Chains A and B, each alone.
Chain A
Amino acid sequence: MDYLLLQMLNGVQLGLLMFLLAAGLTLTFGIMDLVNLAHGSLYMMGAYIAWTTISWTDSFVMGALLALPIIFVLGLVVEAVVARRLYARNHLDQVLATFGLILFFNELVRVIWGPAGKSIAVPAFLNRTVEILPGVPYPAYRFAIIVVGAAVAILLAWLVARTRIGMLIRAGASNRRMIGALGVNIELLFSLVFGLGAVFAGLAGLMAAPITSVKIGMGDDILILAFVIIVIGGIGSIKGAFIAAMVVGQIDIVGRAFLPDLLKTFLSASAASSAAPAISQVLVYIVMAGVLVWRPTGLFGQRT
């Protein structure tokens, strides 16, 4: 029972990380109509930039706080140099150009930080366990990810639902030409949303770094999962992205944690341990296919 609880918490933690990534993606698609494959590169850049700033400041928190504005600026640069030219283009051009960006960033990282992976240590004050329930310890760092992730999710929900900028974002998602015609500076709004998405992606990358590893292409696989999430949730819907991220997080972790034992009842031990991660990955895509067959625009997507 405790084991199940811990694994479900791990699922929540993974889900929140993927939500941070998916939120930026779903905003850029919902508002600017941009398919940004390079969003995963911003996730990777977040981790690498944080590695550098952490080694400068010798403190995880300081390094992370220093890295976020840098990633924001990086997001603005990518928006101004490439992304802005793509908003009015069709999806194919966007896929192609941002695919080029991925190649560029992967290689840039190799030039700057070298081909070998880096690791970021778990900060000392979080390198222990907390008791989430009496007698049930849980790694403090993972718990911190859940807290930060949930805080950012709430902040985002507040930003979108309650503030003026959020109002513009929602208006932009439903009709961007109209809000432009009403005198809103949509170019500034687009830059801001792109930068915000970059910060969320970078934050996810740097928080994931101590529990995974910092390596070239780390953003590519998780990017596809993030796309799956926004497609399941319905493109442009923050709420959909959140729910889908939670579901995908649970499928992934619980699948990894429980499938091997289940499979061992009728497969050999080694076959079970190599098949289980594959099956839990496959499950995610089956869920997505099922949702799209049932609702071709996702759970909370706009019907056309």
Chain B
Amino acid sequence: MIAALRTPRGLITALILLALAVLPLLTQAFDQRYLLSIGTRIVIWSIAAVSLNMILGYGGLVSFGHAVFFGIGGYAVGILSAHGVSSGWIQWPVALIAATLWAALIGALSLRTRGLYFIMITLAFAQLVYYVGGGLEAYGADDGLNISRSRFPGLIDLRDKASFYWLCFVALCGTLWFCSRFANSRFGYVIRGAKSNDLRMTALGFPVFRYRLVAFTLSGTFGGLAGILLANEGAYISPAMMSWVKSGDLIVIVVLGGMGTLFGPLYGTIAFFVLEESLPHLLDLMRKGWGEYWQIVFGPLLILVALYARGGIDSLLGRRS
């Protein structure tokens, strides 16, 4: 533990986690409420990115529909809340079970395919749910729905921004802990082995399909958790939270941070949000009015990352031991 702090990577990671842990105190001290809301979104998106990394980074399965779990988790909370079930003790387990079941179902169907077919079938299932969300007249259809936040009476008030942030942070720590256990377990090694050569793993006697299905399902559960938090963050659900662009953003984040590394998705999320928030201002400094068009810089940046920065941010922090 202490030894890990001696490497630059360990030190930087520890500092980032520490900064995230005390973020509400910092934003309160400097009276920067807006930063706390960005911080909350960073933490929630990190959870989703870590969960995507389990299958994308460790498993090599390019799922292009991960934002669907934002939607499933979010809509489970929103629909229950719209029917007067406001207790988080009911909402959250239902949402997690829904995300898990859906992940198991689409995993069982998608994992039969390979390559581009897998990318496209995961995208197609996500689009399917997206259009169902847009067709639900009772829950706001395309416009979305304002919901009330989950209630945990006597335990925590999610309307309080700082408490909610800390809840998200705890959830992120839990997700990271789970992911590290996953990555270093026998189970995780089977998944990683199948990434390099699934034929060989099959020949060694591992039922690769079943292992992948379990990994895909778990990844969906944590994606659902991120969805629950996202719905509570804005007190709002809409199909837009599971549009395919969000799935693309999640892939960008994982690759940007460093695939198949524990903290890569966290670095990636921070970098993504910092770029999204700062690029417009930077461009505006160069010339007034340019900031509006920040994506014209961001797009080519992604191309450069894809072409030249294979290891992502994680690889900038020095070689792994």
Contacts and interface: CB of A to CB of B under 8 A. Distances in A.
Contacts of B127: 224, 281, 285
Contacts of B131: 277-278, 281-282, 285
Interface stretch (B144-152, B156-164, B208-216, B294-302): B294-302
Contact of A97 (B116, B295, B302): B302
B306 A93 contact: yes
The B interface, classified by DSSP as helix, strand, loop or mixed, is helix
A288 B124 contact: yes
Interface of B: 56, 62, 64, 109, 112-117, 119-121, 123-125, 127-128, 131-132, 134-138, 141, 244-245, 248, 251-252, 255, 292-296, 298-303, 305-307
B298 A91 contact: no
A101 B300 CA distance: 7
A235 B302 contact: no
A271 interface: yes
B116 A103 contact: no
Contacts, number: 143
Contact of B109 (A100, A224, A289): A289
B244 A274 contact: no
B102 to A, nearest CB: 13
A279 B109 contact: no
Interface in A94-133: 94-97, 99-108, 110-111
A101 B299 contact: yes
27 contacts: A89-B307, A91-B116, A92-B56, A92-B255, A96-B302, A96-B303, A97-B302, A99-B302, A100-B301, A103-B296, A220-B244, A220-B245, A224-B123, A228-B120, A277-B131, A279-B135, A282-B131, A282-B132, A282-B135, A285-B128, A285-B131, A288-B121, A289-B109, A289-B124, A289-B125, A296-B112, A304-B114
Interface string A213-241: 00000001000100110010001000000
A298 B131 CA distance: 23
Contacts of B295: 103-104, 106-107
A227 B248 contact: no
A243 B114 CA distance: 22
A222 to B, nearest CB: 12
Q: Which 3 A-B pairs have the closest CB atoms?
A: A278-B135, A100-B302, A104-B299
A85 B295 CA distance: 22
Contact of A91 (B112, B115, B121, B255): B115
Nearest to A286: B128
A107 B13 CA distance: 34
Given A93-B306, A95-B62, A235 B116 contact: yes
Interface of A: 29, 35, 82, 85-86, 89, 91-97, 99-108, 110-111, 220, 224, 227-228, 231, 235, 270-271, 274-279, 281-282, 285-286, 288-289, 292-293, 296-298, 304
Given A103-B295, A289-B124, A95 B119 contact: yes
A29 B116 contact: yes
Contacts of B306: 86, 89, 93-94, 96-97, 100
Contact of B121 (A35, A231, A274, A279): A231
Contacts of A289: 109, 121, 124-125, 128
A104 B124 contact: no
A288 B125 CA distance: 9
A102 B299 contact: yes
B117 A103 contact: no
Given A271-B137, A293-B109, 14 more contacts: A86-B307, A100-B302, A100-B303, A104-B296, A107-B295, A111-B296, A220-B245, A235-B116, A270-B137, A278-B135, A281-B127, A292-B113, A292-B117, A297-B113
A96 B135 contact: no
A296 B113 contact: yes
Contacts of B137: 270-271, 274-275
A71 B281 CA distance: 33
Contacts of A271: 137-138
Nearest to B292: A110
B111 to A, nearest CB: 10
A52 to B, nearest CB: 19
A293 B134 contact: no
B252 to A, nearest CB: 6
A107 B294 CA distance: 8
A95 B64 CA distance: 9
A288 B127 CA distance: 12
A198 B49 CA distance: 33
A300 to B, nearest CB: 13
Nearest to A235: B116
A161 B76 CA distance: 52
A227 B62 contact: no
A29 B292 CA distance: 34
Contact of B296 (A89, A108, A228, A270): A108
Contacts of A274: 135, 137, 141
Contacts of B64: 95
A278 B298 contact: no
Nearest to B307: A85
A19 B189 CA distance: 43
Nearest to A96: B306
Contacts of B305: 96, 100
